[in-house]
């Protein structure tokens, strides 16, 4: 489903039933729109569960709430961020790395912000709140180098907050990746109450604030402000995909 250049659209109570091994089958794409809500839906597909892009103009005031994803490529921003995204909220969502037939996602992501030079632009005031993941490999993915450079517009993920995120039963070698483009385009990332069962993490060119998480980001161009503390307990439940 594509929602493009819309003001005030609501996507509510939908069911997308596509196997995880079927390519290029996004669940819901929101493009160049404002005041959009996607809520109370179950999405199984072989690409992004929900993706926000800016192919035509800026995007703002988008809420994705109580969406359950199965075998997808994640809850995504990008890859097109050219015109900028602002005031985005993902809240109370779940991700399962498998579809109902046991197919594992071909790109098994959880929280995902992606872009690349030529399709890049600012991402500001974006929050993922209360996200539960199971059977996911790429838990937190923030990357400005999703594809080969094709132009001069640079991705700049200025203010991204991940608050209350938990992963359980992550697949082997699960990890996270928090990146900015370069020293002039640092990603600004806040991690609060992030409790992952796989803490492997790579980072570069990022200004990261930590509060109550066991993650320990370090790398080229990375600064960390850690206020300490253990994650607040997060109770996760993963609903079965609804019957037809």
Per residue in 135-157, pLDDT (tens digit) is: 999 999 999 999 999 999 999 99
For the stretch 184-221, pLDDT in tens is 999 999 999 999 999 999 999 999 999 999 999 999 99
- 184 part of the active site: no
pLDDT score recorded for residue 192? 98
142: CB partners within 8 A, 6+ apart:
112, 113, 157, 160, 177, 178, 179, 187, 189, 206
- Do the Cβ atoms of 170 and 136 come closer than 8 Å? yes
Q: Which residues pair with 122 in a beta bridge?
A: 156
pLDDT score recorded for residue 71? 98
pLDDT score recorded for residue 244? 59
pLDDT score recorded for residue 243? 84
Of 26, 29, 45, 47, the catalytic one is 47
Within 13 Å and on the Cβ side, how many CA atoms surround 162? 31
Within 13 Å and on the Cβ side, how many CA atoms surround 170? 21
Closest CA to 234 of 132, 97, 128: 132
In the sheet that 28-31 helps form, which strands lie side by side, from edge to edge? 2-4, 28-31, 50-53, 75-77, 109-114, 138-143, 175-179, 201-204
Average pLDDT, the chain: 97
pLDDT score recorded for residue 184? 97
Token readout for 81 is 């961020």
- DSSP letters for 117-179: TTS--EEEEEEEEEEEEES-SEEEEEES-SS---SSPPPEE--EEEEEEEEESPPTT-EEEEE
Of 73, 99, 108, 193, the catalytic one is 73
Q: Looking at the chain, which runs of residues are DSSP E strands?
A: 2-4, 10-12, 15-17, 28-31, 34-44, 50-53, 59-70, 75-77, 85-96, 109-114, 122-134, 138-143, 156-157, 160-168, 175-179, 187-195, 201-204, 206-213, 222-226
The terminus-to-terminus CA distance of the chain in angstroms comes to 18
Q: Which residues pair with 111 in a beta bridge?
A: 75, 140
How far CA 36 is from CA of 30, 183, 242, in Å, comes to: 8, 33, 24
- 73 part of the active site: yes
Residue with tokens 């892009």: 53
Give the C-alpha separation, 136 to 97, whole Å: 5
What residue ranges do the domains of the chain occupy?
A: 43-178
Residue stretches of the chain with pLDDT short of 50: none
């Amino acid at each position: 489903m594509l929602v493009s250049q819309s003001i005030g659209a609501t996507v509510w109570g939908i069911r997308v039933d596509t196997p995880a091994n079927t390519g290029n089958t996004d669940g819901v794409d929101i493009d160049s729109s404002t005041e959009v809500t996607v809520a109370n839906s179950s999405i199984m597909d072989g690409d992004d569960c929900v993706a926000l892009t800016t192919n035509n103009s800026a995007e703002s005031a988008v809420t994705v709430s109580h969406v359950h994803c199965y075998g997808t490529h994640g809850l995504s921003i990008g890859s097109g961020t050219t015109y900028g995204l602002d005031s985005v909220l993902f809240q109370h969502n779940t991700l399962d790395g498998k579809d109902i037939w046991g197919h594992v996602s071909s790109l098994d992501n959880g929280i995902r912000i992606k872009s690349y030079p030529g399709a890049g632009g600012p991402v500001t005031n974006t929050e993922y709140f209360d996200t539960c993941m199971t059977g996911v490999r790429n838990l937190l993915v923030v990357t400005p180098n999703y594809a080969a450079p094709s132009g001069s517009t640079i991705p700049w993920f200025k203010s991204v907050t991940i608050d209350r995120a938990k992963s359980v039963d992550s697949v082997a070698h699960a990890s996270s990746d928090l990146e900015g483009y370069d020293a002039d385009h640092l990603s600004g990332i806040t991690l609060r109450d992030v409790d992952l069962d796989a803490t492997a993490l790579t980072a570069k060119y990022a200004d990261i604030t930590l509060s109550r998480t066991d993650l320990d980001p370090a790398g080229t161009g990375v600064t960390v402000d850690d206020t300490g503390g253990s994650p607040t307990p997060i109770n996760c439940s993963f609903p079965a995909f609804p019957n037809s």
